[in-house]
Amino acid sequence: MSYLLPTYANFPLTLVRGEGTRVWDENGTDYLDFCAGIATCSIGHCHPSLSEAIAKQASTLMHCSNLYQIPQQKELARTLVEDFVQTPGKIFFGNSGAEANDGMIKTARRYGHARPQADGSPRYEVITFKQSFHGRTLGSMAATAQTKIQQGFDPMLPGFRYCPFNDLDALRSCISETTVGIMLEPIQGEGGVHEARPEFLRGLAELCQQHDLLLMFDEIQCGLGRTGSLMGWQAICPELQPDTISWAKGLGGGFPIGAFYVSDRIIDQNGTELSSLMGPGSHGSTYGGNPLACAAALAVLEEIRNSQLADHAKQQEQQIRDIILSWNHPVILEIRGKGLLLGIALDPEQLEAPTLCQTLMSEGLLTVPAGPNTLRLLPPLNVSSEEINEALKILKNTLDSLCKN
């Protein structure tokens, strides 16, 4: 008998140890982990620098309230702004991606009050995109344009309009007097690994400027080196400057932390900075940005930066693409994504992604589906060429075996 709420359809596997790209189950069987906690273990399992940072901070001071100064929090915010975003702004720390997206949505609502409609009533509507995934809280769930996520939880939080992805004409027609922002994943992860086309992303940014809308990037899965660039959108349109950005997953390398960025750009003739709209009392989190979480994230970002893991991810993407394309396998329709956020589209007439994931697990390779017809490959950013060769050998043999049946 289990006392857990049955919210997850778990695989029948119990993992008890991890090191680098490899994990072990309770029976001592090892697996190559190309799921990595769904893009969370960005520098691999139990990386020495991350484990050391957590142990050191845990024996010094794990938590103190945001009522007080937290040096690790300040340093992590500086690192994110100066070394990663590289555009002036401010950071808020929470505990998860959904929480970070809720913070971005609240920032948009504040902007709608500061920059209202012509009649003085606030703008509040945020446009998001079909197949998106922004989280499971009431706010982030309402932003997520997937019926299966929202089913049974009506009524949704009002203030969202859903638009087809990569359709600039449809997006243009969705903008109304109440619209205050456009929120998207530059590369949709859960929805099937779909990239925003460059012309769509540039056109979207132009619409934001024309209509005084916030450009809001959800980088929870695609940010911080995952796509072969420091920021996910930079892999598509590096010249863009978003107003808000959310992160989680890979930021903590397995330790729970979320964050969102708000730009310092001036929004009126009085010199008001956008980030100043989220002033004292506007938002909060008991655990967010505590010393332990920030020490972990600092260690992760230092490793990503010093070991140039974004560049490494881009190189490893090419290896994966070259090998898979050389198979010319009849069940594989295409490879989508960038860096080490890759989706292998399967022919639904021949094979479904959950079935493939289940079989790969029995062969020693952990992966994760993205919808019914896409297999996601999300290894740690420091995965080696030898580990990729080993994983793809398992994938090829498994595809051959399943297709025969």
- One DSSP character per residue, 36-76 reads HHHHT-TT-BT-HHHHHHHHHHHTT-----TTS--HHHHHH
The per-residue pLDDT of the chain, averaged, comes to 97
User: Residue 267 has what pLDDT?
Assistant: 98
Angstrom distance (rounded) from CA 165 to CA 142: 17
Angstrom distance (rounded) from CA 394 to CA 360: 7
Burial 153-182 (b: 16+ CB within 10 A, else e): eeeeeebbbbbebbebeebeebbeebbbbb
Angstrom distance (rounded) from CA 234 to CA 230: 7
* pTM exceeds 0.85 for this model: yes
Contact 150/156 with Cβ under 8 angstroms? yes
User: Residue 79 has what pLDDT?
Assistant: 98
Which pLDDT band holds residue 1 (cuts at 50, 70, 90)? Answer: confident
Each residue of 378-397: pLDDT tens digit?
999 999 999 999 999 999 99
Looking at the domain covering 15-47+328-402, what would its CATH class be?
A: alpha beta
Does the pLDDT of residue 403 top 90, yes or no? no
125-129 sheet: strands from edge to edge = 89-94, 258-263, 244-247, 214-218, 179-184, 125-129, 160-163
**Residue that is written with structure tokens 């509040």 in the block:** 124
- Which of left, alpha, beta for 257 (phi over 0: left; psi -120 to 50: alpha)? beta
Which pLDDT band holds residue 37 (cuts at 50, 70, 90)? Answer: very high
Each residue of 348-380: pLDDT tens digit?
999 999 999 999 999 999 999 999 999 999 999
The amino acid at residue 309 is: L
Angstrom distance (rounded) from CA 167 to CA 382: 35
Each residue of 196-231: pLDDT tens digit?
999 999 999 999 999 999 999 999 999 999 999 999
Mean pLDDT along residues 131-140? 96
Mean pLDDT along residues 40-64? 98
Beta strands in 269-340 (DSSP E): 332-338
Mean pLDDT along residues 60-74? 97
Which residues pair with residue 260 across a beta bridge? Answer: 92, 246
User: Residue 404 has what pLDDT?
Assistant: 67
Each residue of 252-293: pLDDT tens digit?
999 999 999 999 999 999 999 999 999 999 999 999 999 999
Tokens of 399: 């595809």
Residue ranges of domains in the chain? 15-47+328-402, 50-306
Mean pLDDT along residues 37-53? 98
Which pLDDT band holds residue 346 (cuts at 50, 70, 90)? Answer: very high
CA 46 distance to own-chain centroid: 21
User: Residue 176 has what pLDDT?
Assistant: 97
Instruction: Fold for 50-306, please state it.
Output: Aspartate Aminotransferase; domain 2 (3.40.640)
Backbone phi and psi for residue 376, each to the nearest 5 degrees, phi listed first: -100, 135
Tokens of 245: 């950005």
Does the pLDDT of residue 45 top 70, yes or no? yes
User: Residue 304 has what pLDDT?
Assistant: 98
Strands 89-94 and 258-263: antiparallel
Mean pLDDT along residues 299-312? 98
Does the pLDDT of residue 52 top 60, yes or no? yes
Each residue of 149-173: pLDDT tens digit?
999 999 999 999 999 999 999 999 9
